[in-house]
Chains A and B, each alone.
Chain A
Amino acid sequence: MDYTDPQYWPTLKNLAQTIDGLDYFQVLNLPQNASSGQIRTTYYQMARALHPDRFFHLPDEELKNSVSKIYRRITESYTILKDDQKRAQYSANINGPERMSKLRFNEESEREQKEKQREALEVAKTPQGKKMFNEAVAEYKKGNYDKALKNLQSALLFESGNEQLKAFKAEIEAKKAGG
Chain B
Amino acid sequence: MGIDLGTSNSCVAIWEDGRPVVVPNEWGEMTHASCVSFLEDGSVIVGNSAKQRIVLDPQHTVYSAKRLIGRFYFSEEVKKAQAICSYPIVEGPNNSVRVAIRDAVFTVPEVSAMVLKEMRAIVEQHTQQTVTKAVITVPAFFNDSQRQETKNAGRIAGLEVLRILNEPTAAALAYGFGQNLDQRVVIYDLGGGTFDVSILQIGQDIFEVLATAGDTYLGGDDFDDRIVQWIGTQVEQRLNYDIKSDLVSLQKVRDVSERAKIDLVESDRVTIHLPDLYFDANGSPVAFSTEITRPQFNQMVMDLVQRTFKVCDEAMQSARLTAVDIDGVILVGGPTRLPIIRNSVRHYFQREPNVEVDPDQVVALGAAIQAEALLDSATSTFLLDVTPQSLRLGTVGDYTEVIIEKNTAIPIDRTRTFVTAADNQERVKIKIYQGESRNASECEPLGEFEFSGLRQARRGEVKIEVTFEIDTDGIVNVYARDTETGQQASTTITLTGGMDEAAIAEAAARNAETKRADHA
| Interface residues in chain A, defined as those with a beta carbon under 8 Å from any beta carbon in chain B | 4, 44, 47-48, 51-54, 56-57, 68, 71-72, 75-76, 78-79, 104, 107-108, 112, 116, 119-122, 134-135, 137-138, 141
Contact = CB atoms under 8 A, between A and B. Distances in A.
B83 interface: no
Closest 7 CB pairs of A and B: A56-B374, A75-B409, A75-B412, A47-B382, A119-B396, A51-B382, A134-B397
Given A48-B380, A122-B421, A71 B397 contact: no
Nearest to A82: B409
A71 B377 CA distance: 18
A119 B430 CA distance: 14
Given A71-B411, A119-B395, A112 B401 contact: yes
Given A52-B472, A57-B376, A137-B397, A72 B411 contact: yes
Contacts of B399: 138, 141
B464 to A, nearest CB: 12
Contact of A116 (B383, B395, B402, B410): B395
6 contacts: A48-B380, A53-B472, A56-B162, A57-B376, A72-B411, A78-B409
A56 B373 CA distance: 9
B319 to A, nearest CB: 12
Nearest to B398: A138
Interface of B: 162, 203, 205-206, 208, 373-377, 380, 382-384, 395-397, 399, 401-402, 405, 408-415, 418-419, 421, 438, 469, 472
A74 to B, nearest CB: 9
A52 B385 CA distance: 13
A116 B419 CA distance: 10
Contacts of A57: 374-377
A79 B412 CA distance: 10
Nearest to A119: B396
A48 B205 contact: yes
Given A44-B203, A137-B397, A72 B375 contact: no
A59 B236 CA distance: 65
Contacts of A75: 408-412
Contacts of B421: 120-122
A71 B470 CA distance: 12
A107 B410 contact: no
Nearest to B470: A72
A54 B380 contact: yes
Contacts of B205: 48
A53 B220 CA distance: 34
A76 B402 contact: no
B397 A138 contact: yes
Contacts of A76: 412-414
A79 B408 contact: yes
A8 B84 CA distance: 57
Contact of B206 (A47, A68, A107): A47
B440 to A, nearest CB: 12
Nearest to A4: B377
Contacts of A116: 395
A48 B206 contact: yes
A129 B301 CA distance: 53
Contacts of B414: 76
Contacts of B401: 108, 112
Given A56-B375, A134-B397, A137-B397, A47 B384 contact: yes
B383 to A, nearest CB: 7
A134 to B, nearest CB: 5
Given A54-B382, A120-B418, 4 more contacts: A54-B380, A72-B469, A75-B412, A119-B395
Nearest to A44: B206
B373 A53 contact: yes
Contacts of A119: 395-396
Contacts of A52: 411, 472
Contact of A72 (B206, B402, B412): B412
Contacts of B384: 47, 51
A7 to B, nearest CB: 16
A3 B382 CA distance: 15
A28 B405 CA distance: 21
Chain A CB count within 10 A is highest, among B203, B383, B412, for: B412
Contact of B411 (A4, A68, A107, A134): A68
A78 to B, nearest CB: 6
A168 to B, nearest CB: 14
Contacts of A47: 206, 382, 384
A120 B402 CA distance: 18
Contact of B402 (A54, A68, A107, A137): A107
A70 to B, nearest CB: 11
B377 A137 contact: no
Nearest to A48: B382
Contacts of A53: 373-374, 382-383, 472
Contacts of B383: 53
A167 to B, nearest CB: 18
A125 B503 CA distance: 44
Nearest to B413: A72
A141 B439 CA distance: 12
Contacts of A78: 409
A29 B409 CA distance: 19
A31 B34 CA distance: 53
B60 to A, nearest CB: 40
A2 B399 CA distance: 47
Contacts of A141: 399, 438
A72 B469 CA distance: 9
Contacts of A56: 162, 374-375
A133 B376 CA distance: 59
A83 B69 CA distance: 35
Contacts of B413: 72, 76
Contacts of A112: 401
A165 to B, nearest CB: 16
A44 B408 CA distance: 16
B386 to A, nearest CB: 10
A141 B397 CA distance: 11
Nearest to B411: A72
Contact of A104 (B376, B377, B415): B415
A57 B415 CA distance: 29
B425 to A, nearest CB: 11
